[in-house]
Amino acid sequence: MYKDKHLIINILIALWELPQILIGLIILAIFHNKTTYTNPCNHISVWNINAHGAFGTACFSLGPIIVTCNDKVAERTLRHETGHSYDGIRFGLLYFFIVAIPSVFLFWYKRIFSKSQEWYLQRWPEVSAEKRGMTTINIETIKNE
């Protein structure tokens, strides 16, 4: 009974996050030089892609998929992106409007106007990702598998 209930919940979450998941899978299909990192404590997949500078050194979350663009990602960054993954579950189909677009806007605002990382992390939706990511998971040293 527990496994059936767990499967149903996972299917419902996947449907709720379907746009994010599809875009994440398309990105992973385009950039097929990838290395998988996993975080077994919350079933979120972290992928490192060699995008030849297409995304710079950015990290971003698309549902349960976290895409990184360098081999050495700071633990805090992975926690932060995991927080965005939880935001994806929370906001589902509205994620792009509530989280992704404001996050991208803040990222570029920070870069253009030379704002600090702390300034950036104190704004919505980054503050939510920081809080959720720092308190909900325990990431040990993540190594290339």
- In the predicted model, residues of the chain with pLDDT beneath 50 are 40, 139-145
The per-residue pLDDT for 113 is 95
Amino acid 43: pLDDT: 61
Total domains present in the chain:
1
Write down the pLDDT at residue 51: 60
Q: Which of 136, 139, 119 is nearest to 127 (CA)?
A: 119
Residue (of 85, 87, 29) closest to 62 by Cα position: 85
DSSP state letter for 124: T
142 in a structural domain: no
Residue 52 within any structural domain of the chain: yes
- Is residue 143 domain-resident? no
Q: What is the pLDDT of residue 17?
A: 92
Rounded mean pLDDT of the chain? 80
- For residue 122, what are the contacts with CB-CB under 8 A and spacing of at least 6? none
How high is the pLDDT of residue 71?
64
Range of the domain at 107: 2-136
